[in-house]
Structure 1
Amino acid sequence: MRKPVSLPSFEYYLSKLSDNDETLVTVLKGHLVVEALLVEIIQLEFSKNNDFLSEKPWRWSFPQKVNWCIKNGYLTGNKGDALKDFNNVRNDFTHILGYQLTFDRVLNLADKFGNDEFSDITLSKEWYEINDVIIEILNIIFCDLALVLSEKGGADYMSQ
């Protein structure tokens, strides 16, 4: 169960307005892009089968979209699980007041996406910020999903 890390108070909100929320913004905006790509993949398949009027994948939960993509061969189970873990990071940011993403959690997530650039934890913590690793993870996700979409006859976001 998710519980607030900080007490909910108006003073807390006001004091945090000036904090650097770069990682929070990167996760939330990146998640929106990832979810939009998943919806495009699903809608592309529905349009091929003339089912696009009966289904509304933009209303599905993130895990439902990922599970549909796994079931229909657009994602491997491992990639799908990694996407769900990324979704859990996003959920922690949006549902736990005061949530702070740890370097260990983000390195673990990078590993699940097959990024071995951060395999030396000591050097990674010295050379990179958490937001840098999140950006790398989002680049991997975007490239994977954009390639799937393009290969299936959808928009080619890789060349834009």
Structure 2
Amino acid sequence: MLNTKKGTFYEKNFLSHGELIKDISNQNIPQVVLKGHLHIERALENIIRESFENPNLLLTEKSMFSNKLSLVSALGIVPHEYTVALKYFNKIRNKFSHDLEFKLEEEELAQLVNRLDSKTKEFYEGLLRQDTPEEDEYMRYISLFPYKLMFVVISLFVKLIEYHRSYLTDPIVEELFKLHILKKEILGKDEDFQKAYIDDRYNELEKTLHIFYEENLK
């Protein structure tokens, strides 16, 4: 169900985006991975809390990142292709957590980028191109390893939120479209009851979407 109350989707997700940027902007590789992982895991937990009546039965101290990701994927909130990169990112995070000598290499970052699903990769590449300065200066800038890693983490986080938003709103948009087609089909016919129902339902759904975007996506 789409929760239109202000402070749910907006505060739990888009405000966290600002916190993520703040936490990983120091270019410290282990911190980018560990902090980024924590923010993504918190976003997964928020999605689960929004999706179940009794989420605490699932979000226990023994719940692992992989379990939360699998659950969100099983619900159809994120496509399987998206989970591939996050599983690899989780492996990188575990290496930092359990091996003091571990260092992330360019090859592993390249492997992570290659595992991004098409939409997340498109967003990542957009970050690389954003506000492009002079070409030589820009190429030196994006060749810096920490920035590439930061952009990957940001992309994974943002697309998780966007997949969740689509999961919430797409069914309503689809029903609005079907109602619009149905209304056109009975136009001019003596179907007052059906017309009244369609109008009422259409207005209800439209209002729900309007409130959601107005209150949560400012």
Q: TM-score, normalised by structure 2?
A: 0.52
Q: How far has the Cα of 1:87 moved from its partner?
A: 0.5
**Alpha-carbon contact 2:142-2:148 (below 8 Å) kept:** no
Partner of 1:44: 50
Partner of 1:23: 29
SS at match of 2:57: coil
- State the 1:152 CA deviation: 4.8
Partner amino acid for 1:97? L
Deviation of the 1:54 alpha carbon: 3.1
Q: How far 1:149 sits from its partner (Å)?
A: 3.4
Pick aligned residue for 1:33 from 34, 39, 56: 39
Alignment of 1:138-157 (within 5 A): 138-152=153-167
CA contact (8 A) 1:92 1:99 kept: yes
Conservation of the 8 A alpha-carbon contact between 2:27 and 2:146: no
Q: Quote how far apart the aligned CAs of 1:89 are.
A: 0.6
How many equivalent residue pairs? 133
Segments of 5+ residues of structure 2 without an aligned counterpart are: 1-25, 129-138, 170-211
What is the distance in 1 between the residues matched to 2:38 and 2:55?
21
Distance in 2 (CA, whole Å) between partners of 1:128 and 1:81 is: 24
Once the two structures are TM-superposed, the CA of residue 70 in structure 1 deviates from its matched residue by: 1.3
1:91 aligns to 2:94 (yes or no): yes
Cα distance in 2 for residues equivalent to 1:22 and 1:37: 22
Q: Pairwise CA RMSD of aligned residues?
A: 3.1
| Residue in structure 2 matched with residue 78 of structure 1 by the alignment | 81
Report the Cα offset of residue 140 of structure 1.
Answer: 1.2
Q: Classify the secondary structure of the residue corresponding to 2:58.
A: coil
Distance 1:53 1:21, change over 3 A: closer
Task: Provide the TM-score with structure 1 as the length reference.
Answer: 0.69
Higher helix share: 2
Structure 1 pair 43–127 and aligned structure 2 pair: CA distance change class (3 A): closer
SS at match of 1:98: coil
Alpha-carbon offset, residue 28 of structure 1: 0.7
Equivalence for 2:209: none
Q: Cα 1:42–1:82, aligned 2, differ >3 Å: closer, same or farther?
A: same
CA distance in 2, matches of 1:58, 1:88: 20
> Whole-Å Cα distance in 1 between the matches of residues 140 and 86 of structure 2?
23
CA contact (8 A) 1:24 1:93 kept: yes
SS across alignment from 2:68: helix
| Alpha-carbon offset, residue 75 of structure 1 | 1.6
Give the aligned residue type for 1:68.
Answer: L
- Cα distance per residue 1:51-84 (max 9 Å; x no partner): 2353325641011011111111012222112101
Q: CA deviation at 1:143?
A: 1.2
Instruction: Pick from 149, 157, 160 the counterpart of residue 134 of structure 1.
Output: 149
Match of 2:133 in 1: none
